[in-house]
Amino acid sequence: MITHTAEQAAYEGARRGTIPGANAAVAQQFAEAELDRIGLQQAVVTVIPSEISSTTEEVTVQVRIPMNANGWITPSVLKDAYITRSCTLSREYISSF
């Protein structure tokens, strides 16, 4: 469930960051909203590039979730482990005719 949520959060953040007029804060906000749906703690969302402009070609959102803060029953094998997922999407453009 945590892995799937990390993947979905990265996708939602990247998707929102590719829409014309979007910025990195919006992309991060949407990714964090997905993580909040199941109450994940101490996750780090990184948007690349940190400044999205009209010339930005791709947006990448990376989500890193610490298992120590989120595993209900974290086995010793996952101690100090992280689930990291990212999504890169091409930006949408509005063409002028």
User: What pLDDT score was predicted for residue 49?
Assistant: 97
Single out the residue of 15, 4, 85, 72 nearest to residue 44, CA to CA.
85
pLDDT digits (tens, 9 = 90+) for 13-58: 999 999 998 999 999 999 999 999 999 999 999 999 999 988 899 9
Question: What is the token pair recorded at 20?
Answer: 């014309």
For the full predicted model, state whether its pTM sits above 0.85: yes
Neighbours of 59 (CB within 10 A): 24
The tokens for 40 are: 């994940």
Number of Cα atoms under 13 Å in the Cβ half of residue 51? 2
| Domain range summary for the chain, segments of one domain joined by + | 2-90
Long-range contacts of 36-40 (CB under 8 A, 24+ apart): 37/5, 38/1, 38/2, 38/5, 40/2, 40/5, 40/65, 40/70
Q: Which fold has domain 2-90?
A: Pantoate--beta-alanine Ligase; Chain: A,domain 2 (3.30.1300)
Phi/psi for 7 (5° steps) reads: -65, -45
